[in-house]
Structure 1
Amino acid sequence: MGELTVREDNVPAAPPAVPAQELTALAQWAHDAQQAHTIAQSLSKTQFVPKSFNGNPDNITAAILTGQELGLPPMASLRSMDIIYGVPALRAHAMRGLVQSHGHEIELVESSDTRCVMRGRRKGAADWQRVTWTIDRAAKLLGGLKDQWVKQPTTMLIARATGEICRLVAADVLYAAPYAAEELDGTGRPGPTYSAAPVTAGEILGEEDDPGNGADFFACEHKTTDAPGHDPNVCPRISEAQWQALRDGSVDPDAEAAAQLAEETGGWPPVRKPGSGA
């Protein structure tokens, strides 16, 4: 065995090679994302994109890439897609058109203000699948009707039926965006069963109460509920910890009011987290 052979035997084994095809696909996607973002930065400054995308190149990039997975060109993606609570969603007409472009059949059988029936079948299939949406079904699901459900119930029923029948017939076409925007937007989500009227910090502190009931917080003999001799029926006040939190700005008066309402009603009302849209 020669010296060269010994040295080769002592060389550490090389790590398994990454399949060239997989690396190429990932590299291609990364390149496409960079190019899409470059385009998005220019488009975000124009009036050719929907208002929800205006000035937001990151969302435009995401919409273009999602549309690419669905087989839609960039501008068609922006005109056909909304981002609802962080979820990309096709508008109902675009969803229907995309499914039909793949050769599947979607038909509107019946439509009124109270009822919508649609049917569909995959390309080459003999049997039809049918879905029915009624205004009663929508009201039960959403906890009541409001906004667009009141203004244009026929359109909203068609949108709901479209989303359901398209997923039944062609889930493989819609995997990147399986829900219609009309199914996810604020007009189709149930609202709280009760709500609290907006309150101010002054109201929480009692500054706007009846003067005979200790209206001036700083004039109250027992400024907080922690003070000895405090009578909540005479001068209702907050605790020292609550007062300090309000002074520091770490307490949201609206959230505090909602919590109080929850305690009074025996349930916890939905609280919107700022910036979350949820």
Structure 2
Amino acid sequence: MSTDIAVPERNSPVALTSAMVVSLQDQVAALDAAYRLAQSLCKTTFAPKDYRGKPQDGAVAILFGQKLGLDAVQSLQNVIVIHGKPSLEARTMRAVLLAHGHKVWTVETTAERAVVRGRRADADSDEQDEESVWDMERVRKAGYEKRNEKYRTEPTNMLYARALAETCRRTAPELLIGIEYDPNELRDIGPTQATSERVTAADIIAAPQEPEQALEPEPAEEWVDVEVEETPSADEEADQVEADPEGGDPE
């Protein structure tokens, strides 16, 4: 009898399932730690109003920021949720890239045009540089000027933020995974048309049950006894009168 212990192969379904379970357990432990930390931080004035008194949201923001290299306080200050989507200010995106050795620099920035370039740390040449150009013509074509008045009051900052955020996402998408927009971009786009409502099991249990509407009974079919003499119609009576005007029985 063999005493060897069977070890599943690395990419076998058993090994992958075990790895997933361990990963989920790690996430649960991390969320628990983040929540306990958020319970204290979200009571202070250091927490933005969107997170103040909301440790659940704060805990998720802390976990999200941790993946980007931000500590708990930085996460609460910089991870902004708009229309249900997490976002980062363009300057925070740039800081994340610089911390990982990537380069992002400004080529041009005016009230009419902004140009920003980025280069990965492992790029072999400047031919791999990413560049984003935002000008007021592009803003007007997209209709953003009508939705966000800052393009009229702060055009230089808005155009630069647009170009900077786009360059950062193009240069290191693996770092900013899950960050599709910066807050200004989300405000430009606005909420999506499709909406959903989060419903928990407790909500379903506590919801009053609407009484079922009774179905109206279908009308019963009328049965006619073949032995019962049917009442003649008016046309039939007229025919009988013409055939026998005196109403007598025929011989």
**TM-score normalized by the length of structure 2:** 0.65
Matched, 1:79 2:77: yes
Q: Secondary structure at the match of 1:53?
A: coil
C-alpha displacement of 1:176: 3.0
Q: Structure 1 residues 181, 53: closer, same or farther in 2, change over 3 A? A: same
What's 1:60 paired with? 58
Partner secondary structure for residue 71 of structure 1: coil
Q: Deviations over 1:137-156 (max 9, x none)?
A: 11221353432222211111
1:144 is paired with a residue whose SS is: helix
Q: Residue 169 of structure 1 corresponds to which residue in structure 2?
A: 171
AA matched with 2:143: L
Specify the code of the residue in structure 2 equivalent to 1:176: G
Partners in 1 of 2:29 and 2:109 — Cα distance?
Answer: 45
Alpha-carbon offset, residue 133 of structure 1: 0.2
Corresponding residue number in structure 2 for 1:189: 189
Q: Which residue of 1 aligns with 2:11?
A: none
Q: In 1, distance between residues paired with 2:19 and 2:193?
A: 48
Query: Cα offset for 1:129?
Result: 2.1
Alignment partners' CA distance in 2, 1:73 and 1:143: 33
8 Å contact 2:83–2:190 — kept in the other structure?
Answer: no
Instruction: Mark the runs of 5 or more structure 2 residues left unpaired by the alignment.
Output: 1-13, 199-251
Does 2:153 align with 1:142?
no
After superposition, the C-alpha distances for 1:67-94 in whole angstroms (9 at most, x for unaligned) are 1222221111111110011101011110
Partner of 2:238 in structure 1? none
Cα distance, 1:116–1:41 mapped onto 2, change above 3 Å: same
1:70 alignment counterpart: 68
Q: Secondary structure at the match of 1:172?
A: coil
Structure 1, unaligned stretches of length 5 or more? Answer: 1-15, 192-269
Taking only aligned residues, the RMSD between alpha carbons, in angstroms, comes to 2.8
* Alignment correspondent of 2:41: 43
Quickly say closer, same or farther: Cα 1:25–1:86, change in 2 above 3 A. same
Q: What per-residue deviation string (whole Å, max 9, x for no partner) do you get for residues 199-255 of structure 1? A: xxxxxxxxxxxxxxxxxxxxxxxxxxxxxxxxxxxxxxxxxxxxxxxxxxxxxxxxx
What is the CA-CA distance between 1:24 and the residue it aligns to? 2.3
Query: Taking structure 1 as reference, are residues 30 and 117 closer, same or farther at Cα in structure 2, changes over 3 Å only?
Result: same
Change in CA separation of 1:143 and 1:17 when aligned onto 2, cut-off 3 Å: closer
Change (3 A) 1:190 1:56: closer
Identical-pair percentage: 34
Paired residues in the alignment total: 182
Q: Displacement of 1:23 after TM fit?
A: 2.5
Distance 1:190 1:44 in 2: 27
Give the match for residue 180 of structure 1.
182
Q: How does 1:1-278 map to 2 (within 5 A)?
A: 19-125=17-123, 126-127=125-126, 128-145=129-146, 146-185=148-187, 188-189=188-189
Amino acid paired to 2:51: F
AA of the residue aligned to 1:30: V
